[in-house]
C-alpha cells in the first residue's frame, strides 16, 4: 500500500473516550436535578478554595464585645458566635476542611475496596475467601465506637477520623465491586479479550472496570455524603478540634447556644444538608448520563479507498511434524463426595500446518471442552485429568495433566493461537465500538501505533468482505447484523497472522446464506495465511465443505477419525453412520399444506381439506 493511499483511506475519528466525555457533560447539564446539584457543589468547592482569601474576617479572631450578634450587625453578614467570631468567615473557611475530609474518606474506601473487589470477583479462590472474611469482620464492627476509640487513642484529628472511617466504609465498595465483577467475568466477550492476547490487567482495567463504574460512582458519592455527616456528628459531640473552623464545630457551637441564639445552628445545618444531598443527587445523575445515554456517532459521510491486501502476508512457518498434537487428553469436573465427572477421556489427534481438522459430534460430546483445553479457557473448577497438548513444540498441557500458566498462554493467544466463537454478538463488548475492539489487541499484542493499528483494522474488515469498513469500524455491536459481527470476529482472529485458528461452530448462529459466505471466507483466509484450523461443529455438511480430516466424538471420546472422503463414504462406526443419516441432504422434503378447491355443486363450507406429503 502506498503512503499516499494510506493517508487517503483514513479519516480522523473522534475517539470513544473523547465523544463519551463531551456527551456525558451535555447530558448532565440537561438533567435539572443534576444541574442544581452540580451548581451547589461548585459553589461549595469554590468556597473551600477561595474562602480563606475572600473571608471578610479572621475565622478564629475573637471579639467578645460583639458576641452572639444577629445577622447584619457590625458588618457581620451572618452574625457572630459566643466568642464574637464571624459566622460567615468560618462557614467559608470550614468548607475547605469539610470537603477535604470527605474526599479523604472516599479515597481510602475506594483505594481499599475497588482493587480488592476486582481481584476477588475476577480470580476468586483463596483471595476471595480471605478478602470476604476480612470485610465481614469490618462490617461487624460498630463504626461509631471505633471512631470514638480512635479519637481517644490517636487524638482529635479530623484526618485520622476520616481515614479510619474510610477503612470502615471500604467493605461496601468491595462487596459492590465483587458482585458486579462476578456477574460479567464469565461473559463471552471477556473470554474473547483473553484469546485476543490482552493481559489480565488490561481486561480488568477496561472491560471489567467499565461495568462497575455506574454503581461505583453512586457508592462513592454516598460515601462522601456520609463522611461529611459523620465528621459533623463527631465534632458535634465535641471530638473535633475547636481551633479548626469546620461545619461540625459550628454546629456544636450552635447547639450550645441554642436558647440564646438558635440561628447559629441553622447556617452549618443548611450547608451540611445541601452538600450531602447534592453529592447523592449528582452521583445518580452522573450514573444516568453514563449508562442511559444513546450511542451517537458522527453522521458525516466517509469516502474510503479500499486498501490493498498484499500488505498482510503469511507468517514464515518453520517445518515440523505436527503443528498441534493432542494425546490422551482427559478433562473432568469435581463432584460432591470427592468423585470426578469425566467429560473428555483419552482424546488424541493431530493437526498439520495449512490443514483443516474438523471435530464433529452431537451436543455434549466434548468438542468444545477439547477446544477450550487447547485455548486454556476451561472454567476454574475444571481439571485436566491426564494427557498432553503440544503446540509447535510448546507443551500447553503436560503428560501429568498440568496446564501451562495463564501468563504463558496469554503470550500465545492472540499472537499464534486465535479463536472464533460460536455467538458473535455475545463476544463483542457492547460498551465499545467495533473499531476500538479491533485496534486494542493490535496495539497491545503487536505493539503497533494507534494509527497503524487503525489502518490494519480497516484493511482486515475489507478482507473479510465488509463493503463499508469505515462505517463498521465506527459502529457499536448492536448496530450490525449477526453475519457482519461474525465477520468482525474473524477479522480480529486473523489480525495477528496466527498459526492455529480454533473455530467453535462459527456458523451455528447464522442463516443458511450467511453460513455459506462465512465458510467461503474461512476457506479463503486459511489458504491466504496458511493456518492450521480446528473446526468444531455438529454439521457434517460443514465438515465436507471445509475440512481435510475429521475426528468424530461421542460422550467425550474419539470414536472414529480419518480423511474426510473416507469417513463420509465409508464410515466404520455406527455412531458416525447415525450422524450422517441425520443430515437433511438427499431426504424427501415435506410439501406445503394445500386446500382442495370446492366442487361447483358443493358448498365451500363442506369442502374437504386435503393434506398431502410428497
Q: What is the average per-residue pLDDT within 235-261?
A: 80
Q: What is the average per-residue pLDDT within 200-213?
A: 75
Q: Do domains 31-59+70-291 and 311-581 have the same CATH topology?
A: no
Q: What is the average per-residue pLDDT within 408-427?
A: 77
In the predicted model, is pLDDT for residue 55 greater than 70? yes
pTM passes above 0.85: no
Q: pLDDT class for 551, splitting at 50, 70, 90?
A: very high
- Output the pLDDT for position 585: 57
CB 360 within 8 A of CB 579: yes
- Can you give the residue ranges of every domain in the chain? 31-59+70-291, 311-581
d(CA 535, CA 326): 15
In the predicted model, is pLDDT for residue 336 greater than 80? no
Q: What angle do CA 116, 163, 144 make, to 5 degrees?
A: 100
CATH superfamily membership of 31-59+70-291 = MetI-like (1.10.3720.10)
Q: What is the average per-residue pLDDT within 581-592?
A: 57
Q: pLDDT class for 550, splitting at 50, 70, 90?
A: very high
Which tens digits make up the pLDDT trace of 367-415?
Answer: 888 988 888 888 878 888 888 899 888 888 887 767 766 666 777 877 7
Nearest alpha-carbon partner for 243 in 352, 378, 90: 90
Q: Report DSSP state, residue 600.
A: T
In the predicted model, is pLDDT for residue 300 greater than 70? no
Which tens digits make up the pLDDT trace of 81-126?
Answer: 888 888 888 888 888 888 888 889 889 998 999 889 888 888 888 8
Which tens digits make up the pLDDT trace of 171-194?
Answer: 988 988 888 888 777 776 676 677
Which tens digits make up the pLDDT trace of 9-39?
Answer: 433 444 444 544 556 677 777 888 888 888 9
CB 43 within 8 A of CB 50: no
Q: pLDDT class for 133, splitting at 50, 70, 90?
A: very high
Which tens digits make up the pLDDT trace of 282-298?
Answer: 888 877 776 654 443 43
Class of the domain covering 311-581: alpha beta
Of 299-308, 349-358, 426-435, 572-581, which range is least confident?
A: 299-308
Q: In whole angstroms, how far apart are CA 518 and each of 440, 475, 547, 566, 602?
A: 24, 21, 14, 25, 54
Nearest alpha-carbon partner for 530 in 356, 389, 393, 410: 356
- Output the pLDDT for position 376: 84
Amino acid at each position: 500500500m502506498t503512503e499516499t493511499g494510506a493517508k487517503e483511506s483514513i479519516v480522523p475519528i473522534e475517539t470513544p473516550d473523547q465523544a463519551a466525555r463531551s456527551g456525558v457533560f451535555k447530558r448532565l447539564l440537561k438533567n435539572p436535578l443534576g444541574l442544581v446539584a452540580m451548581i451547589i457543589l461548585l459553589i461549595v468547592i469554590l468556597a473551600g478554595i477561595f474562602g480563606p482569601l475572600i473571608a471578610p474576617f479572621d475565622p478564629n479572631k475573637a471579639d467578645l464585645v460583639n458576641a452572639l450578634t444577629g445577622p447584619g450587625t457590625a458588618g457581620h453578614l451572618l452574625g457572630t458566635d459566643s466568642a464574637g467570631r464571624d459566622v460567615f468567615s468560618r462557614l467559608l473557611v470550614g468548607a475547605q476542611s469539610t470537603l477535604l475530609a470527605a474526599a479523604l474518606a472516599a479515597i481510602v474506601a475506594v483505594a481499599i475496596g475497588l482493587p480488592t473487589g476486582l481481584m476477588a470477583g475476577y480470580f476468586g479462590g483463596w483471595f476471595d475467601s480471605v478478602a470476604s472474611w476480612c470485610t465481614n469482620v469490618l462490617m461487624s464492627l460498630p463504626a461509631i465506637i471505633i471512631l470514638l476509640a480512635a479519637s481517644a487513642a490517636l487524638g482529635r484529628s479530623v484526618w485520622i477520623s476520616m481515614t479510619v472511617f474510610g477503612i470502615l466504609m471500604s467493605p461496601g465498595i468491595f462487596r459492590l465491586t465483587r458482585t458486579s465483577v462476578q456477574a460479567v467475568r464469565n461473559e463471552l466477550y471477556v473470554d474473547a479479550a483473553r484469546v485476543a492476547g490482552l493481559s489480565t490487567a488490561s481486561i480488568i482495567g477496561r472491560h471489567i472496570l467499565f461495568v462497575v463504574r455506574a454503581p461505583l460512582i453512586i457508592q462513592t458519592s454516598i460515601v462522601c455524603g456520609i463522611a461529611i455527616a459523620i465528621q459533623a456528628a463527631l465534632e458535634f459531640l465535641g471530638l473535633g478540634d475547636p481551633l479548626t473552623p469546620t461545619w461540625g464545630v459550628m454546629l456544636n457551637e450552635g447547639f450550645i447556644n441554642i436558647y440564646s441564639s438558635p440561628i447559629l445552628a441553622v447556617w452549618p445545618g443548611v450547608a451540611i444538608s445541601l452538600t450531602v444531598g447534592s453529592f447523592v443527587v449528582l452521583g445518580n445523575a452522573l450514573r444516568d448520563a453514563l449508562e442511559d445515554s444513546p450511542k451517537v456517532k458522527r453522521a458525516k459521510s466517509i469516502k474510503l479507498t479500499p486498501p490493498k491486501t498484499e500488505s498482510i502476508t503469511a507468517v514464515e512457518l518453520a517445518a515440523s511434524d505436527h503443528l498441534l498434537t493432542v494425546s490422551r487428553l482427559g478433562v473432568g469436573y469435581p463432584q460432591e463426595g470427592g468423585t470426578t465427572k469425566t467429560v473428555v477421556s483419552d482424546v488424541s489427534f493431530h493437526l498439520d500446518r495449512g490443514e483443516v481438522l474438523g471435530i464433529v459430534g452431537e451436543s455434549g460430546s466434548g468438542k468444545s471442552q477439547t477446544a477450550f483445553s487447547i485455548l486454556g479457557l476451561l472454567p476454574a473448577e475444571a481439571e485436566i485429568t491426564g494427557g498432553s497438548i503440544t503446540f509447535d513444540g510448546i507443551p500447553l498441557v503436560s503428560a501429568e495433566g498440568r496446564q501451562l500458566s495463564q501468563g504463558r498462554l496469554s503470550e500465545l493467544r492472540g499472537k499464534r493461537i486465535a479463536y472464533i466463537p460460536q455467538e458473535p454478538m455475545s463476544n463483542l463488548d457492547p460498551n465499545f465500538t467495533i473499531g476500538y475492539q479491533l485496534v486494542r489487541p493490535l496495539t497491545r499484542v503487536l505493539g503497533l501505533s494507534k494509527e497503524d493499528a487503525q489502518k490494519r483494522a480497516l484493511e482486515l474488515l475489507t478482507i473479510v468482505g465488509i463493503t463499508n469498513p469505515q462505517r463498521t469500524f465506527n459502529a457499536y455491536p448492536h448496530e450490525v447484523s449477526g453475519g457482519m459481527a461474525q465477520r468482525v470476529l474473524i477479522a480480529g482472529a486473523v489480525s495477528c497472522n496466527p498459526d492455529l485458528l480454533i473455530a467453535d461452530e462459527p456458523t451455528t448462529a447464522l442463516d443458511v446464506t450467511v453460513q455459506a459466505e462465512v465458510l467461503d471466507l474461512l476457506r479463503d483466509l486459511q489458504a491466504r495465511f496458511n493456518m492450521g484450523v480446528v473446526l468444531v461443529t455438529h454439521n457434517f455438511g460443514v465438515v465436507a465443505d471445509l475440512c481435510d480430516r475429521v475426528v468424530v466424538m461421542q460422550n467425550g471420546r474419539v470414536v472414529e477419525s480419518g480423511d474426510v472422503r473416507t469417513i463420509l463414504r465409508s464410515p466404520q462406526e455406527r455412531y458416525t453412520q447415525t450422524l450422517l443419516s441425520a443430515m437433511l441432504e438427499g431426504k424427501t422434503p415435506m410439501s406445503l399444506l394445500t386446500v382442495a378447491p370446492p366442487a361447483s355443486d358443493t358448498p365451500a363450507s363442506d369442502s374437504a381439506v386435503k393434506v398431502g406429503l410428497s
